[in-house]
Amino acid sequence: MTPAVARIITDLTLDREFDYRIPEALRGQVEIGRTVRVPFGRRRARGFVTGLAEESDYPDLKDIEAVVEGPALFDKTMLKLARWMADYYAAPFESAIAAILPAAVRREGARFKRQLAARIAEGAEPTGVDEAVLAKRSPKQAAAWARLKELGECTAAALGEETGVSLAGLRSLAKKGWIALEPGVVRRNPHGHVAVLPTTAPPLMEEQTTALEAVRREMDEENPGVVLLHGVTGSGKTEVYLAAIQAALDAGKGAIALVPEIALTPQTMERFRGRFGETVAVLHSHLSDGERHDEWRRIAAGEARVVVGARSALFAPVRPLGLVAVDEEHEPAYKQDEAPRYNARDVAVMRGKMEGCAVVLGSATPSLESYRNAREGKYRLAVLTRRVDRRTMPEVRVVDMRIESEKEGGARLLSKDLIEAVRLRLSQGEQTMLFLNRRGYATTVMCPACGHVETCEHCSVKMTYHKNTDLMLCHVCGEVRRTPARCGNPKCGAPNIKMSGVGTQRVEAAVRRMFPQARVQRMDSDTTGAKHSHAEILGRFRRGDIDILVGTQMIAKGLDFPNVTLVGVILADLSLQMPDFRAAERTFQLLTQVAGRAGRGDVPGEVLVQTYTPFHPAVQSSRHADYATFFDQEIEMRQVMRYPPCERLTTVLFKGRDEAAVNACAKEFAERLARDLPEDVRLKGPAPAPLEKAKGYYRVQFMLLGRTTARYVPALRRMTKAFKLPRGVSIAVNVDALSLM
């Protein structure tokens, strides 16, 4: 029997599905994943079909009004994944549906771009006589005809541009029956027309081969599992993904490769396109809506089998799916910061399970979560211990800034050792990267007379002084203020405002002063605002037009410059001092990644880490890229503190402009929830979040910690559905929160 009832999730935020009757006329067209129009109260709504049934428990169903043209946007597996996300991340179901479908595909009227196109008409076999006549009477039409014979098909616009033929001219050719003129699909191509040279796969090194075998073994399993690929930077992890993707293609399946947004450089794309050509589709945030729509549809149609993209590319409609690779799996960028607050790495594992496809997670510094899973045998572990071509790992030297500042009689930005090392590179024509994870010039603008510090009016943070603009900037909300000549405290007003604390601009200034002959460039989000400046700076660096590149974490990740032989970390302590339980983990990751930038070519690299806490485990372990030691020490801490991954953390944040209302709401929510929680779940707070106020909104949060999220998420989800938030207060549930910030 054909189903008579459809279950619909509307695009209204109700976190509920509704049943509708399928009118006779529409039966057969209504299927899972199709977009429909339905009456809703006195309005109409758009929705997606999430279920079909023969009857409904509800009486008096309304009829579906229309089925929107276009393909089904998801299948049963993706629907199941969306349901799982909503449940697991305690998020409204429609937000999970929105997450799996790009807006460019989901929105009303999303379609291919059509343009008038000309093609040789079927059966058109004009004789030579006609052509000769045409050439005399209308040379432009003749030129267009000749060109079209070469191309077979071409848009009218392009033909006009090339041959000067007018639309009337083309119409006249169409009238003769030589060509057909009708709207055709024009693919919006995000690769532009950049040709990429095809590459062939290199023979794999021994460790790579073993790793590939581990992945292939999972691919062959009936219920494929997860491989954690732990490989030092430059050990050839990407080459393993490429080989595994090839294996998926050979098996008649497709693959998805996720990379952090910041690593989606033209370089990365070229590697995939070079190996797999036109079957590669990209999905990331810099595409236009049109490009994203077309790429998505190309994947859905099976024309593109390999998808490379950031977080949301995980939901690409690759079918059948043979492999998901998640590069830099530890990256916080995989966590979405709006509902559903999913971690693409974890959802990848779940999608793999549901689709029956293998998943490979790769990193030089795996998350404690993944490494623990590997230790416990839940994931298969593959290791790459050596750099390709036996290049040596760079030597890491820790510079104790306490001793340095004692010797030099005060704190210096650049230690003697670092200055010497840079000088040596300059003299040898080699390149240097200097790294500091904070932009701006000075991080504190203070009156030395009364201690008044310039803070943002809307956020609970200090203003940062930017020298290039001579303005103060709030790094949370972007508020810009004039730098005061006198103290802003009305009772003080003293002159001589003091700037302290370092940012990349100050490092840049110091380097320019110290090495006036060097070509210095800074790269952080202040210098890369314009669309292509990021790529432009990296291009100049690659060509050797820059001697010293100063930057934030932007320069720390995934970049491969053979001529960089020195990396300096200006202050390792910055990330260690973050008020967060992952501070050590993040520091270790950062130092290891940064160190990985040095010595990618023939000359061995050197890394200098300046720090005031030289004996911190995160600093010490990074000296030898000694992940296992770091893991053992850190996991013990987490065990004692009962923090992730030993227990699962969820934060629930309340935001609003009215401080009292936010506090009261958080308190009531937490109290009511607490009654519904099992005893072994800890609820801590509510208390002001570390960032107490941002963009004018007060932020109060509580934490939940339990052995598994299943211990408390169901209760939490019930509460979020039942609790009526007061006007002006919003809630953000973050299951498996990565930090307490």
Site for Zn ion in 46-85 (CB under 5 A): none
Cβ 203 to ligand ADP shortest distance, Å: 6
Cβ 653 to Zn ion shortest distance, Å: 17
Backbone phi, psi, residue 79, to 5°: -65, -40
CA distance 233 to 597: 8
By beta-carbon proximity to ligand ADP, the closer residue of 50 and 592 is 592
By beta-carbon proximity to ligand ADP, the closer residue of 104 and 245 is 245
Residue 131, contacted partner among Zn ion, ligand ADP, none, CB below 5-8 A by kind? none
By beta-carbon proximity to Zn ion, the closer residue of 625 and 694 is 694
Site for Zn ion in 475-494 (CB under 5 A): 476-477, 479
Site for Zn ion in 397-456 (CB under 5 A): 456
- Cα dihedral 502/504/506/511 (nearest 10): 130
592 binds ligand ADP (CB under 6 A): no
CA distances from 698 to 438, 579, 662, 665 (A): 24, 19, 7, 12
Residue 205, contacted partner among Zn ion, ligand ADP, none, CB below 5-8 A by kind? ligand ADP
What does DSSP assign to residue 26? G
Site for ligand ADP in 100-129 (CB under 6 A): none
Cβ 397 to ligand ADP shortest distance, Å: 22
Residue 474, contacted partner among ligand ADP, Zn ion, none, CB below 5-8 A by kind? Zn ion
202 binds ligand ADP (CB under 6 A): yes
Site for ligand ADP in 456-475 (CB under 6 A): none
Please select the residue that binds ligand ADP; options are 92, 231, 317, 568, rule is CB under 6 A: 231
Angle made by CA atoms 74, 80, 85, in degrees to the nearest 5: 105
Cβ 201 to ligand ADP shortest distance, Å: 8
> What three-state secondary structure class fits 544?
coil
Backbone phi, psi, residue 338, to 5°: -135, 165
What contacts 314, CB < 8 A, 6 or more positions away? Answer: 256, 258, 324, 344, 347, 348, 351
Residue 235, contacted partner among Zn ion, ligand ADP, none, CB below 5-8 A by kind? ligand ADP
By beta-carbon proximity to ligand ADP, the closer residue of 238 and 552 is 238
459 binds Zn ion (CB under 5 A): yes
Q: Which stretch of DSSP H or E encloses residue 420?
A: helix 416-428
Please select the residue that binds ligand ADP; options are 208, 279, 622, 709, rule is CB under 6 A: 208
Which residues on neighbouring strands pair with residue 181, listed in sequence order? 118
Size of the site for Zn ion (CB under 5 A): 7
By beta-carbon proximity to ligand ADP, the closer residue of 487 and 556 is 556
Residue 456, contacted partner among ligand ADP, Zn ion, none, CB below 5-8 A by kind? Zn ion
205 binds ligand ADP (CB under 6 A): yes
Q: Report the helix count and the strand count for the chain, using DSSP H and E.
A: 23, 30
458 binds Zn ion (CB under 5 A): yes
Site for ligand ADP in 235-264 (CB under 6 A): 235-239
Please choose, out of 197-205, 353-361, 435-443, 505-513, the segment that lies near ligand ADP by the rule CB under 6 A.
197-205
* Angle formed by the axes of helices 237-250 and 266-276, nearest 10°: 40
Cβ 597 to ligand ADP shortest distance, Å: 11
Please choose, out of 16-24, 231-239, 549-557, 614-622, the segment that lies near ligand ADP by the rule CB under 6 A.
231-239
Cβ 694 to Zn ion shortest distance, Å: 7
* Angle formed by the axes of helices 659-675 and 713-722, nearest 10°: 130
What contacts 137, CB < 8 A, 6 or more positions away? Answer: none
What's the longest Cα–Cα distance across the chain?
A: 97
Token reading at 317: 């409609």
Please select the residue that binds Zn ion; options are 474, 523, 550, 607, rule is CB under 5 A: 474
CA distance 564 to 416: 20
Cβ 206 to ligand ADP shortest distance, Å: 10
Please choose, out of 28-36, 200-208, 423-431, 716-724, the segment that lies near ligand ADP by the rule CB under 6 A.
200-208
Please select the residue that binds ligand ADP; options are 33, 190, 234, 254, rule is CB under 6 A: 234
Backbone phi, psi, residue 306, to 5°: -120, 120
Cβ 210 to ligand ADP shortest distance, Å: 12
CA distance 411 to 445: 18
684 binds Zn ion (CB under 5 A): no
Residue indicated by tokens 């279950």: 7
SS3 content of the chain, % helix, strand, coil (to 5): 35, 25, 40
By beta-carbon proximity to ligand ADP, the closer residue of 235 and 592 is 235
9 — alpha (psi -120 to 50), left (phi > 0) or beta? beta
Residue 373, contacted partner among ligand ADP, Zn ion, none, CB below 5-8 A by kind? none
> What three-state secondary structure class fits 343?
strand
Residue 479, contacted partner among ligand ADP, Zn ion, none, CB below 5-8 A by kind? Zn ion
CA distance 601 to 605: 8
By beta-carbon proximity to ligand ADP, the closer residue of 88 and 241 is 241
Cβ 480 to Zn ion shortest distance, Å: 10
Cβ 387 to ligand ADP shortest distance, Å: 7
CA distance 242 to 236: 10
Q: What is the CA radius of gyration of the chain?
A: 30
388 binds ligand ADP (CB under 6 A): yes
177 — alpha (psi -120 to 50), left (phi > 0) or beta? left
What contacts 667, CB < 8 A, 6 or more positions away? Answer: 686
* Angle formed by the axes of helices 504-514 and 416-428, nearest 10°: 60
Binding residues for Zn ion (CB under 5 A): 456, 458-459, 474, 476-477, 479
Binding residues for ligand ADP (CB under 6 A): 202, 204-205, 208, 231, 233-239, 388
